[in-house]
């Protein structure tokens, strides 16, 4: 049996995202059944705020790590990794300190969910630092097998421990938060002990690289933050205007959108390193080709997924959330989200490409445009409708606003059109099918024999 195909970076990246997303969905499905709607809403509120903190750190340094580290010399690579670690530590403890300071002023906070977030955010963020930096390095090195192993430890350990707590009828919200920290500690220790984290390169940092990466990161931050920031705004508005229980319903279709986020994250992860290498070698033709190829192939691949979800949304919500969430607005919101997802690949690769060609400032303005669209539509939508649809209706308008803004500015720098995306995606998909898939089908082999 030929095992080489299982070492393909695209395959390993996809499997890695399948693992993390699969475990995430299983964990959420389990929690939906053991926690009340109110506690489930608070858990989602915590995930949103901690996700925003992660987005700040990842957005500031993930693309920067890949861009400055991929394909560089050993000497410069050590300096890059040292600078990455220095910035990651400073940013992590800065955000953690802020959460502790706000917690110290908790007498003026009368929100249960906000207090819980402040109690657990700092320690959760600190314990995830080593394996987060490790992931950035491994993405730049395109070592997706090690990423897969670490994700098994982190996500697998989380769901296994929660399952045991559920069997013992001890799966309280506080215990779930404690398990989250414990799995972070174990994963980070493994990354450091096995040498994957390269934390020993910290002494190689340089002031020049720290300044350069800071300048780059402050704008590339916007690409990674856009979805999280918009999600955070919606979470706050829903939580404080409609309550945590409503947030639990709203998040069911959001979690089910992993069906498109899995391949999207995989293609962005593998494509970003190829694009960075092409840009660093002044090969703009290949950079543009990768952008159009990945975005176009994903758009076409999403079509059958969209059709299946449109017909099966009710069953998907029932399977994830159980009977408590059947018959709610969750299924129809999922249908709307899956249709909008057809635009996600173009929007995501617009942002990544702008980062790679050092137009991070455009991405920052793009986030401002999306926020300017999302916040008023969501707020007045909830105010007028007094239900989840008030927030949901903002999603297509926000997505379209961000896509058009990014596309308009990207065309100023590269030869790039919507038609070119679909044309390249179709050609590459056809070539993949006839050259890689069709020859391996059983009926084809039987016909040849």
**Does 318 have pLDDT greater than 70?**
yes
User: Three-state SS across 336-402?
Assistant: HHHHHHHHHHHHHHHHHHHHHCCCHHHHHHHHHHHHHHHHHHHHHHHHHHCCCHHHHCHHHHHHHHH
Closest CA to 352 of 53, 71, 66: 66
CA 207 remoteness from chain centre: 30
Average confidence (pLDDT) over 406-419 = 88
The pLDDT of residue 75 is 87
The pLDDT confidence band at residue 198, using thresholds 50, 70 and 90, is very high
The residue with greater pLDDT, 435 or 347, is 347
The pLDDT confidence band at residue 227, using thresholds 50, 70 and 90, is low
Q: Mean pLDDT score of the chain, rounded to an integer?
A: 85
- Which token pair is 371? 């926020």
- Which token pair is 255? 């979690």
Place of tokens 């919200």: 173
Determine if the pTM surpasses 0.85: no
The pLDDT of residue 215 is 84
The pLDDT of residue 448 is 46
Tell me if 330 sits within 8 A of 344, measured CB to CB: no
pLDDT tens, residue by residue, 362-389: 877 888 898 899 999 999 999 999 888 9
The pLDDT of residue 3 is 46
Return the axis-axis angle of helices 207-242 and 360-385, rounded to nearest 10°: 10
The residue with greater pLDDT, 123 or 433, is 123
Whats the size of the chain, residue-wise? Answer: 449
Average confidence (pLDDT) over 37-59 = 88
Q: Where are the alpha helices (DSSP H) in 3-143?
A: 9-34, 37-69, 74-104, 112-127, 129-141
Q: What is the DSSP string of 111-139?
A: -HHHHHHHHHHHHHHHHTHHHHHHHHHHH
**Does 8 have pLDDT greater than 70?**
no
The pLDDT confidence band at residue 1, using thresholds 50, 70 and 90, is very low
Average confidence (pLDDT) over 105-125 = 82
Which of 39-43, 116-120, 260-264 bottoms out in mean pLDDT, i.e. has the lowest? 260-264
Q: How far apart are CA 377 and CA 372, in angstroms?
A: 9
Tell me if 424 sits within 8 A of 349, measured CB to CB: no
Average confidence (pLDDT) over 302-326 = 89
The pLDDT of residue 219 is 67
The pLDDT of residue 7 is 57
pLDDT tens, residue by residue, 141-193: 888 788 888 988 998 899 999 999 989 888 899 999 999 999 999 999 999 99
The pLDDT of residue 97 is 93
433 φ, ψ to 5°? Answer: -65, -50
**Does 440 have pLDDT greater than 90?**
no
Q: How far apart are CA 259 and CA 313, in angstroms?
A: 12
Tell me if 16 sits within 8 A of 149, measured CB to CB: no
The pLDDT of residue 161 is 92
DSSP class of 197: S
Which of 79-83, 280-284, 397-401 bottoms out in mean pLDDT, i.e. has the lowest? 280-284
The pLDDT of residue 6 is 52
Q: How far apart are CA 440 and CA 427, in angstroms?
A: 20
The pLDDT of residue 364 is 78
């Amino acid at each position: 049996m030929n095992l080489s195909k299982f070492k393909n970076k695209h395959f390993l990246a996809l499997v890695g995202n399948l693992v993390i997303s699969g475990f995430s969905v299983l964990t959420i499905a389990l929690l939906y059944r053991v926690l009340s709607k109110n506690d489930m809403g608070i858990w989602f509120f915590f995930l949103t705020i901690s996700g925003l903190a992660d987005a700040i750190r990842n957005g500031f340094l993930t693309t920067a790590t890949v861009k400055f580290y991929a394909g560089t010399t050993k000497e410069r690579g050590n300096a890059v990794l040292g600078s990455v670690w220095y910035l990651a530590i400073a940013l992590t403890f800065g955000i953690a300190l802020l959460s502790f300071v706000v917690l110290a002023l908790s007498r003026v906070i009368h929100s249960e969910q906000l207090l819980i977030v402040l109690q657990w955010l700092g320690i959760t963020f600190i314990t995830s630092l080593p394996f987060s930096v490790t992931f950035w390095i491994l993405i730049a090195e395109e070592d997706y097998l090690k990423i897969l192993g670490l994700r098994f430890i982190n996500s697998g350990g989380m769901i296994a421990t929660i399952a045991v707590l559920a069997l013992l009828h001890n799966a309280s919200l506080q215990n779930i938060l404690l398990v989250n920290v414990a799995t972070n500690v174990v994963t980070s220790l493994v990354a450091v002990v096995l040498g994957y984290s390269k934390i020993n390169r910290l002494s190689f940092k340089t002031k020049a690289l720290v300044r350069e990466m800071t300048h780059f990161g402050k704008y590339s931050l916007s690409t990674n933050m856009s979805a999280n920031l918009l999600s955070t705004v919606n979470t706050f508005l829903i939580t404080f205007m409609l309550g945590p229980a409503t947030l639990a319903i709203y998040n069911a279709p959001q979690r089910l959108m992993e069906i498109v986020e899995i391949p999207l994250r995989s293609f962005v992860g593998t494509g970003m390193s190829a694009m960075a290498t092409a840009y660093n070698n002044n090969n703009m033709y290949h950079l543009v080709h990768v952008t159009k190829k990945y975005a176009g192939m994903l758009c076409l691949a999403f079509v059958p997924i969209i059709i299946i979800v449109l017909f099966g949304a009710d069953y998907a919500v029932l399977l994830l959330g159980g009977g408590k969430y059947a018959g709610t607005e969750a299924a129809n919101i999922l249908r709307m989200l899956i249709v909008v997802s057809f635009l996600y690949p173009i929007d995501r690769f617009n942002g990544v490409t702008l980062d790679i060609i050092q137009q991070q400032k455009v991405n920052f303005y793009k986030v401002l445009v999306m926020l300017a669209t999302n916040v008023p539509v969501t707020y007045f939508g909830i105010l007028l409708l007094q239900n989840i649809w008030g927030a949901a209706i903002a999603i297509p308008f926000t997505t379209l606003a961000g896509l058009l803004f990014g596309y308009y500015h990207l065309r100023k720098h590269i030869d790039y059109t919507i038609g070119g995306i679909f044309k390249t995606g179709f050609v590459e998909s056809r070539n993949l099918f006839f050259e890689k898939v069709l020859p391996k089908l059983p009926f084809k082999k039987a016909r040849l024999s």
